[in-house]
Amino acid sequence: MSVSFDTMERLLPITRSLGGLNLSLSSKEYTHGVVIRFRSVEAFEIFINSKEYKNVWHSKFQTIVHKSFSLHFSVDPVGSEIM
């Protein structure tokens, strides 16, 4: 069975993800950051509520993360534009 590129684009909710270290000496608790861009608000909601995301967060990250916070905001246009 082959899947077309258009179908794959609709199935993959993430358009871009970036992560890195916080090198600022003034912030002792905030050590890492991640930015994930989604195709739409609906794609974000599907991702954040998925069993897979929740399982990975609980099994991989929650065990090593002491503090975390999420910041959600909308950016137009969604797609290949540089942030």
CATH number, span 5-61: 3.30.70.100
Render pLDDT for 29-55 as a digit per residue (tens, 0 to 9): 888 888 888 888 888 888 889 999 899
pLDDT of residue 82: 53
Among 21, 43, 37, 23, CA closest to 82: 37
Judge whether residue 80 has pLDDT over 70: no
Measured from the Cβ of residue 39, the count of other Cβ atoms closer than 10 Å reads 17
Q: CB neighbours of 16 closer than 8 A, spacing ≥ 6?
A: 35, 36, 37, 83
Identify residue 16 by its one-letter amino acid code.
R
Q: What is the DSSP letter of 29?
A: S
pLDDT of residue 51: 92
Judge whether residue 66 has pLDDT over 50: yes
- What is the percent of the chain with per-residue pLDDT over 70, rounded to a whole number? 76
Helices (H), the chain: 5-11, 41-48, 51-56
Q: Which residue has the tokens 């890195």?
A: 20
Domain boundaries, the chain: 5-61
Render pLDDT for 16-32 as a digit per residue (tens, 0 to 9): 888 998 888 887 788 88
